[in-house]
A = this chain, B = another copy of it.
Amino acid sequence: MKQVNYNTKQKSAIMSCVKTMGDKHFTIDSLCKKMQKGGEMIGRTTVYRFVEKLSAEGVLRKYNALSGESVCYQYVGENNSCHEHFHLKCEKCGKLFHMDCREMSELVEHIKSHHGFYLNPLKTVIYGVCEVCSTK
């Protein structure tokens, strides 16, 4: 069932690069570029494949792109610590905000009970304009 999982230098390189991203969103391309600068030359195909695997395992979270952008990923960690918060993305500056509040949990509950829809906070990104940009 559980297939063997070889440890290779490529995988560790990708893994540690991913961790340096903190909770920022990143693309496959940005990963490759960053590793390249760090002297690591990892094949793009390998990055695609391993990142996809990490997504499937829940180590990374996969996000839909803003139109025109590529698919984005975010490091979550094996502990899956940030399960229940939401992401707000500013359309102006591109910054990502985390939001964790009672109102949001209530909304999830409301949508489930009244609309029969099981909201997935991991995938949902709320778009809008942040405070800083709105005052410019």
Which residues of A, 107-124, contact B by the 8 Å Cβ criterion? 107, 110-111, 114-120, 123-124
Query: A127 touching B134 by the CB < 8 A rule?
Result: no
Among A103, A116, A128, find the residue whose CB has the most chain B CB atoms closer than 10 A. A128
Name the segment of A10-18, A64-72, A76-84 touching the other chain: A64-72
The residue of chain B having its C-beta at the shortest distance from the C-beta of A106 within the complex is: B103
B126 touches A91 (CB 8 A): no
Q: Is A125 an interface residue (CB 8 A)?
A: yes
> Which listed residue, B106, B110, B123, B126, touches A119 by the CB 8 Å rule?
B126
Tell me the count of chain A residues lying within 8 A, CB to CB, of chain B. 37
Q: Which B residues lie within 8 Å of A35 (CB)? A: none
Q: A31 at interface (Cβ–Cβ under 8 A)?
A: no
A129 at the interface (CB under 8 A from B): yes
User: A64-B64, A107-B104, A117-B97 known; A125 and B128 CB under 8 Å?
Assistant: no
In the complex the two chains form, is A117's CB within 8 Å of B91's CB?
A: no
Contacts of A62 in B (CB 8 A): 67
| A63 contacts B by Cβ under 8 Å | yes
Which B residues are in CB contact (< 8 Å) with A63?
A: 67
A47-92 residues at the B interface, CB under 8 angstroms = 62-68, 71, 88, 90-91
